[in-house]
Amino acid sequence: MLAITLLVLCAVGTQALDNGLARTPPMGWLIWERFRCNTNCKLDPNNCVSEKLVKEMADRMVEDGYKDVGYEYVNLDDCWSDKERDAQGRLQADPDRFPSGIKSLADYIHSRGLKMGIYGDYGTKTCAGYPGSLGHLQTDAQTFADWGIDMLKLDGCNSNVTTMKKGYPEMTKYLNATGRPILFSCSWPDYERAAKIPINYTLVADNCNIWRNYDDINDSWGSITGIIDYYDKTQDTLVPAAGPGHFNDPDMIVVGDQGINVNQANAQMAMWSIFAAPLLMSNDLRNIQPVYRDILQNKEVIRINQDPAGKMGKRVLTLGPKVDVWLRHLNPWETYAIVFLSQDTRPRTVSLKLEQLGLTYGFGYQLRDVINHKFIGYWTPGESHNYTMPATGVLMIYAYGNE
């Protein structure tokens, strides 16, 4: 009997995430990069972290076409809660900025046909100093479920990083136990990377739907290329970890903010789609320029991002300084996404045969430019052709075998 009991306890302790979510990379909006921890609603009522702001973003997602192309999560980040738990030890929203409470906010978001995400922290306090979940994991998991939360981002500030391999799976167990499907976004690998602790991506993928593994993104081209370079250097580790239900997360989409131009915005969308990465916008949808809205709603790029095979692409070729070629195998057979990425400040043209990328289908390929929405041509593997990229930008191609 003792042996049976121990086996049962062991099985519960190692229970994998079981929510059926994120079969393709999640899409939505996340408050952090654009609005940070702005809590001063008296001086800045239109841009502070509040239920008013979140509702307005949900409205824009529905009314301006984002929901129609696949964006569905509306996510809070740090600084939403009160500085103290309630008398029962549960998290509670800041009463001034969220006077209706989180459940009411989630109900509103659901009424718009969207889903709501929230933020927690594995440590004693969040990164901004609000109550953390350490010692309260089970309570917080149930609280989020009771509120109708659909996604949880669990950060890792103010914690012992060496315990994360045990602690994050513990939260997985408690989320499973609520019976509510809650997409689980983990920051665990990023903290282990920073602490130079080896990352067990098999364990991470068993317990998280998506996971951060590098620095926070900022609204700049340098930040975007820094993340791309990290994914390049670690691709042999990251590619096998990704698949339906579990994806690497290079952080938010900053398209529509002030720090990048149109070429760079197209480049971020293209590369995040090659990565099979979440598309979680962090911008102000109330006043975004139409050109950036169109980039975010590019159905051809989104189709690649959401490919059901869920395979992460990788860099397969470098063509001189500052030009790399990335390839992602799509569904069905002999279908690919190709990105020519230039970090040069001038337009670049390179010459290439498809067979150099491993595309050897004897009947050739139809090629389509998915950013400019135009057919390029029918090319056989051994033909050499020129490919032109704009300055600090990409050429993104959808290639499919000719029948």
* Cα gap 199→189, rounded to integer Å: 6
Residue type, 55: K
Place of tokens 């070729």: 317
Q: Which residues are catalytic?
A: 155, 216
The identity of residue 268, as a single letter, is: Q
- Listed in sequence order, the residues at least 6 apart from 300 whose beta carbon sits closer than 8 Å to its beta carbon are 368, 370, 371, 373, 398
Cα 343 to Cα 107, 162, 337: the distances in Å are 44, 37, 19
SS3 category, 263: helix
User: CA dihedral defined by 179, 183, 188, 189, rounded to 10 degrees?
Assistant: 130
C-alpha 366/C-alpha 397 separation (Å) is 10
The residue written with tokens 């698949």 in the block is: 243
Q: How far is the C-alpha of 126 from the C-alpha of 131, rounded, in Å?
A: 6
Query: Measured between alpha carbons, how far is 115 from 6 in angstroms, rounded to an integer?
Result: 38
**What one-letter code names the amino acid at 215?**
D
Q: Of the candidates 270, 162, 277, 267, which has an alpha carbon nearest to the alpha carbon of residue 211? A: 277
Cβ pair 119, 186 in contact under 8 A: no
Query: What is the three-class DSSP state of 13?
Result: helix
Question: Contacts by 58-64 with C-beta closer than 8 Å and gap 24+?
Answer: 58/108, 58/109, 58/112, 58/114, 59/112, 60/285, 60/286, 61/28, 61/29, 61/112, 61/114, 61/285, 62/112, 62/113, 62/114, 64/285, 64/293
Tokens standing for 60? 């824009």
Residue with tokens 């509120």: 147
Collect all residues with Cβ–Cβ distance below 8 Å to 358 and sequence separation of at least 6: 316, 327
